[in-house]
Chains A and B, each alone.
Chain A
Amino acid sequence: KAGVTQTPRYLIKTRGQQVTLSCSPISGHRSVSWYQQTPGQGLQFLFEYFSETQRNKGNFPGRFSGRQFSNSRSEMNVSTLELGDSALYLCASSLLAGFNTGELFFGEGSRLTVL
């Protein structure tokens, strides 16, 4: 079974630009969540999608948005990039039965550098 796939793996943007990151979950996984990883801050929750609906949202500004498609693939978008948005963005998928929390399977991440 293929793992969680994230694209692109690396990207460099300048302040003010916007970026879209993509995530393909493990086949059969309907929950996709996104995390921002920075040194010293650990993993911070951005949002979680299940069956194309955003179920949970973390404490990030509205510049951070996401969506999920009918095939469970997900995208996140960051608009008006700031230097502080430089981070590793991790996508994770999970096989859920109802609302039972399960293991998160992470992708390798998309490393965003904002100049």
Chain B
Amino acid sequence: GENVEQHPSTLSVQEGDSAVIKCTYSDSASNYFPWYKQELGKRPQLIIDIRSNVGEKKDQRIAVTLNKTAKHFSLHITETQPEDSAVYFCAATKITGNQFYFGTGTSLTVIP
């Protein structure tokens, strides 16, 4: 089955700096890669996703890049703000079902 590894497990940045979270996956058949944000005590929510036919996707301050050859994808957050503090999960799946494989999460702290 698929195995998703996520690094780092914790990340602290100063407000205004950039944050990068990296994930690798093992199954070359995976073709959909979403990122979820979970604030303390709340439910995970989708913040951005990318499909395998795209190398990069941006949405305001967040972006995701995908390298299919190397089987890794990354989340980039620019101009971080305190409200970006949360746990971020990457995931991988095949677009033939709804079984998602999640990374173990990155706890991001943005220091004001």
Q: Footprint of B on A, CB under 8 Å?
A: 4, 31, 33, 35, 40-45, 48, 50, 55-56, 58-59, 90, 94, 96, 99-101, 103-104, 106-109
Closest chain A residue to B104, Cβ basis: A42
Please report the total number of B residues contacting A with Cβ < 8 Å. 26
In contact, B104 and A40 (Cβ under 8 angstroms): yes
In contact, B98 and A50 (Cβ under 8 angstroms): yes
Q: Write the nearest CB–CB distance from B102 to chain A, whole angstroms.
A: 4
Work out how many contacts link A and B, with CB atoms closer than 8 A.
67
**Contact partner of A44 among B34, B49, B96, B102, CB < 8 A?**
B102
6 more contacts with CB within 8 A, not counting A33-B100, A44-B102, A101-B97, are A42-B89, A43-B44, A45-B101, A59-B1, A103-B46, A104-B44
With contacts A43-B89, A103-B34, A103-B49 taken as known, whether A56 is within 8 angstroms of B43 at the C-beta atoms is no
With contacts A43-B44, A90-B43 taken as known, whether A104 is within 8 angstroms of B105 at the C-beta atoms is no
**Contact partner of B98 among A4, A44, A56, A90, CB < 8 A?**
A56
With contacts A42-B103, A44-B102 taken as known, whether A106 is within 8 angstroms of B97 at the C-beta atoms is no
Closest chain A residue to B99, Cβ basis: A56
In contact, B95 and A99 (Cβ under 8 angstroms): yes
Query: Does residue B42 face the partner (Cβ distance < 8 Å to A)?
Result: yes
B residues within 8 A CB of A99? 95-97
Bound Cα distance from A17 to B99, whole angstroms: 28
Q: Write the nearest CB–CB distance from B108 to chain A, whole angstroms.
A: 15
B residues within 8 A CB of A103? 34, 46, 49
